[in-house]
Amino acid sequence: LASDSDSGMVLAAAAWRRLGGAALGGAAALALQQGGGGAHCRTDRRPLPLLSRLDSNKHPDDEKVLGVDPSGKSVVLRTLKNGAMRVRVMDWGATITSVRVPDKDGVVGEVALGFDELAPYVDGRSPYFGCVAGRYANRIQGGRFQLDGQGYTLVTNNGPNALHGGLVGFDKRHWVCQAASDTSVTLALLSEDGEEGYPGNLLAKVTYSLPTEGELRMEYEAVCDKPTVVNLTNHSYWNLQDGGARSVKQHEVQLAARLYTPVDETSIPTGEVRAVGGAMDLTSPTPIGKGLAQADGGMGYDHNYVLTSPPRQDGLRACGRVYEPTSGRCMTVTTDQPGVQFYTAGYLDGSLEGRGGAKYHKFAGFCLETQHFPDSPNHPHFPSTVLRRGEVYRTTTAYKFDASPSPPTGPIA
């Protein structure tokens, strides 16, 4: 793969195939020019490392092959380390399979839901545990949207709607390792024009890193060759007590969000942006179990909250904080995204056997999926998710873990 900051970037189909990627529909090459700009994107003239050195294929020493994907390719699991913290990432779905951090007594334990083996991730049983959701995370109504006067029809996989990119979203794709070390890994994926109905060839990458002990940082980038919509997030389910063996009802959640987007009976935003109130008001520390019966008819939370805190100097803003009193573990989330999907795993039913034989029952975990709003392509007043040729999609979210016998006080971040 070659790059040139003046003439743009060229992705050769033959080079991509050598990396195990799919052919570009018979095309000899895909030119991706830099330049332009937009509200949804950050643009600069530097060549993207994703495109310029996609074939570096460096791995840390601590890795193992979990098995093979449906096409027969080996799926590699890599372990990131910083101090006592351990994060495991596999290249199928760019999935975080495990996060281990100390509790208030210094005992290191699991805080993410997941499986010991590969099979549930590749055979469709996993409800997006730990993956990158895309090309468009969350829902698009009816699997349809208009862009520049042209209509697009997507694959629907959630009742009448498209969810997390469709039947074969980014969670069900084999990502290519671009670079890795003891504390970080970068994975890349080519999504071709027309996949699941989305327009344009899209080249995406995610970097998971542990820049300090206790911090998990997620950085996403993407470029395209024609206008498309992009919304990437990580779909980890968290349980700060024991990784999912028990309910999260006693976890205390606080969100930096005074607004949210109400939804219809199929979980599509109505278009209204409403002030929080009652069970939807999580602006102060609140036990998750307190509002479950009132949220979504007893199914719990599965709502997009509008983040209302100002950005810090590093461009990130406070998103949320969750404290678990038994372990003393606390997770603080910051992001540059405008929203976060707070989901309390109301659709888990005990049929999934997770890590160590644990049965994942309803409310066994929670998600804080930083994002642009669901169904944004069909709501012009929502923040735009349009990515155009010449623009670079970039977004960052950080999860910081610590532990204390006492709950945190003061501002979220």
Active site residues: 235, 369
Buried/exposed code over 124-147 (b: 16+ C-beta within 10 A; e: otherwise) = eebbbbbbbbbbbbbbbbbbbbeb
Residue 15: half-sphere exposure toward Cβ, Cα within 13 Å:
15
Give the span between the Cα atoms of 165 and 111, in whole angstroms: 26
Cis peptide before 394 (omega within 30 of 0): no
Give the span between the Cα atoms of 298 and 322, in whole angstroms: 21
CB 202 within 8 A of CB 228: yes
User: What is the distance, to the nearest Å, from the Cα of residue 378 to the centroid of all Cα atoms in its chain?
Assistant: 21
CB 49 within 8 A of CB 91: no
Residue 285 burial (C-beta neighbours within 10 Å; 0-12, 13-18, 19+): middle
User: What residue has token string 């007893």?
Assistant: 298
